[in-house]
Amino acid sequence: MAGELSPIDKAKFVAAKRAADLVETGMRVGLGTGSTAAWLVRCLGERVADEGLRFRGVPTSSRTANLARDCGIDVVSLDEARWLDITIDGADEFDDELQLIKGGGGALLQEKIVATASDQMVVIADIGKEVESLGAFPLPCEVIPFGWQTTKALVEETLIQMDVLGRNTTLRMNGDAPYVTDEGNYILDCHLKRIGDPRQLGMVLNQMPGVVENGLFVDICDKVIIGFGDGRVETRDINEGTVEEDRLDFVESDNLFSDIAD
């Protein structure tokens, strides 16, 4: 139950709970992928069951789609929805300009497509995801399997000219085999330590043959909702330049979320 959660899970829970309040009946909503996004889906499912909330959800991965259906959410494809009112998703890192690194869960391509097809993108995260500069979290690049070793070598060579501290890249694995995305691609994780110019790096990487998309989300996020382990929530709106603070109480009998894990 919520009262038995660790501080970091409490932080994820309150951020997701606050973001779930943004969804209204009739909306078309992008549903992110990852541990924090899973809290969001459960919170929205609770509103569907308790309040009769009705909306169409566009998931960014098969994992999210399965969870959303289990929670009673009406799941549709992006082609069916065409355009979204809002996308709510987590992040692996964010800075004070709301630039993001995403893709730790392997769904960066669909996440970026869905986020850019929305009127508004809202990121939910615990306070530990905030950084002064991006790059401590490995930057994922989704690449096609054909010639991936050549693509890897080209990425590493290109990084020599970029404002980064590290240039090592590794193929993401799933046991003894390469990790495969929902689109059938591989992921290269770039261990850069610090990224001086995220916008430039993202553009350069996407110009390379073999690279499908990268995990730098620049000029996409409109708002971040940050959760703290004591129940505090901070909402930063990059467009309005505002910061709002709130606190959510935990409901001891609420055991809907006890099976969510990273």
β-strands 93-94, 177-178 pairing? unpaired
Outline where DSSP puts E strands in the chain. 28-31, 56-59, 74-75, 86-89, 93-94, 100-101, 121-126, 139-143, 168-171, 173-174, 177-178, 186-191, 211-214, 216-217, 223-227, 232-237, 242-247
DSSP-derived secondary structure letter, 118: B
Say if CB 55 and CB 28 are below 8 A apart: yes
DSSP three-state, residue 164: strand
In eight-state DSSP terms, residue 84 is B
Instruction: Say whether 111 is catalytic.
Output: yes
Instruction: Label residues 12-41 b or e (16+ Cβ within 10 Å = b).
Output: bbbbbbbbbebbeeebbbbbbbbbbbbbbb
Catalytic, out of 46, 93, 111, 213: 111
Amino acid at 68: A
Is residue 125 classed as helix, strand or coil in its secondary structure?
strand
- Within 8 A by CB and 6+ apart from 149, the residues are none
Residue 64 structure tokens: 């999210």
Contact (CB, 8 A) for 160 and 132: no
What amino acid positions are annotated as catalytic residues?
A: 111
